[in-house]
Amino acid sequence: MGSLSIGGFGYRFDELIEYFSSHYGKGAYHAQVLFQQLYSEGNASVSQKKEYRLSENLARLVEQDFQVSLPRIDRFPDIEGTLKFTLLLEDSLLTESVLIPMSEWETLCLSSQVGCGRGCSFCETGAMGLRRDLKTEEIVAQWAAARFTIGRNPRNIVFMGMGEPFDNFDQVMRSVDIFSDQRGAGIPKRRISISTSGHVEGIRRLSELEGRFPERAYRTLHLAVSLNASNDRIRNELMPINRIWPMAELKSALKDSPQFGVKDALYFEYVLIPGVNDKNEHAEELVKWMDGLTAKVNLIPYHPVDAFPWSAADDSTVDRFHHILRNSGIECRTRKSRGKGIQAACGMLGKNASGVKL
């Protein structure tokens, strides 16, 4: 089943029921046992479950068809407790994810692609280009690697690793449905964040999904928009996607999104790059552009990487920018970058994953 025997992680519960019906002539009763086993124990061992004791042949088929064998997992810890995982995929490419410790829980940062095709000028992942989209089971396998390494479920999931999630819309949203199913991983959508570089088509598709399936509560997802500029001129230079969907079109799509007006559902990520987007006028321009949007701002001080010419953002500049936003009534915080020493901080994933052949 699927790549490296992780195909079972690619099914929503309703799809698993359909599989059981078409392949075994069984239904939700037996499918739910497998679904729970996959996400609680990381395996398909159902033969000892009471629901299967009278169906030895079925148990044998299920265990054979849904055998779990995770990809090779390498772990890279840093001194702050951040843990980067690399998973070797069937085509010898690598995907990376990061487990970030908080005060009382962990946040898991997932990749949606190997590499990224959006080419943001400050991002090492973008510099490697796009290798391919990840399959649903490859996204969920990143969760499984973390879950069964630390022995507990991460509290939050953020799609802020490699890739533009909305360029792989269908697989990302299927994985969101899988993560949030209370019969499985049980991570509510309100604890799942999707970061986008400003993919207007993806935002509109999310709005359509909410309209078609209101019971799935996509409106409770957090949407984090990587903005990084206060005007189109700067954003065109930093983020080529802005030449497709400029800031006015992005703002319009956000106003129509299911996250608009929902408390704590919409965020803007703003990487402060010295001499590029960190002046007082940029902060004031950002305040003006955000008028009419109920959203928070996460300021991220730029950290230097070899591939790009900029120096680190200094604390006084970050504090000044933060002060202007706060005094204008915008709720914001300065986000501390984690995992720089293991190439796991914002924009650094993929340095060791680009086309690696082992």
CA dist., res. 23 & res. 10, Å (int): 16
- CB-count exposure of residue 271 (10 Å: 0-12, 13-18, 19+): buried
- C-alpha R_g of the chain: 21
Cα separation, 122 vs 302, whole angstroms: 9
Look at residues 238, 225, 239 and name the one whose alpha carbon lies nearest to residue 269.
Answer: 225
Q: Which of 109, 123, 332, 346 is catalytic?
A: 346
In the residue annotation, 123 being an active-site residue is answered as no
Residue 272 and residue 277: Cα distance in Å, rounded? Answer: 6
Residue that has been written with the tokens 């998973």 in this structure: 87
Distances (CA, A) of 291 to 250, 261, 330: 13, 13, 10
* Residue that the structure tokens 């898991």 belong to: 108
**Residue 60 contacts by C-beta under 8 Å, 6 or more apart in sequence?**
47
Query: Is the separation of the CB atoms in 163 and 199 below 8 Å?
Result: no
Catalytic residues: 346
